[in-house]
Amino acid sequence: MFEAARVDAAGPYRLFWSVALPMSKPILGVVSVFAVIASWRDFLWPLLVLRNPGGPRGGAQR
């Protein structure tokens, strides 16, 4: 792909924007999804564990 673009007189910036970036979009999407899942997991675990069972003022709910 890169050699074909060079034969068509594409410069380094054109190679990146027209060849390398479109080819790497799927893996960038997968890495983004994994990053969001990891961030959500880091948020959700303390939210579940550190929940205050006594209510918002610390007293027991009756």
Residue 35 CA to residue 9 CA, distance in Å, equals 37
Domain residue limits at 44 = 25-50
Per-residue pLDDT band for 59 (boundaries 50, 70, 90) equals: low
pLDDT of residue 7: 67
Number of folded domains that form the chain: 1
Per-residue pLDDT band for 47 (boundaries 50, 70, 90) equals: confident
Tokens linked to 57:
């003022």
Radius of gyration of the chain from its Cα atoms, rounded to whole angstroms: 25
Residue 56 lies in a domain: no
Rounded to two decimals, what is the model's pTM? Answer: 0.55
Q: What is the pLDDT of residues 16-46, one digit of tens each?
A: 767 777 888 999 999 999 999 999 888 888 8
Residue 45 lies in a domain: yes
C-alpha 26, offset from chain centre: 12
Residue 33 lies in a domain: yes
Residue 29 lies in a domain: yes
DSSP-derived secondary structure for 19-49: IIHHHHHHHHHHHHHHHHHHHHHHHHHHHHH
pLDDT of residue 18: 74
Residue 18 lies in a domain: no
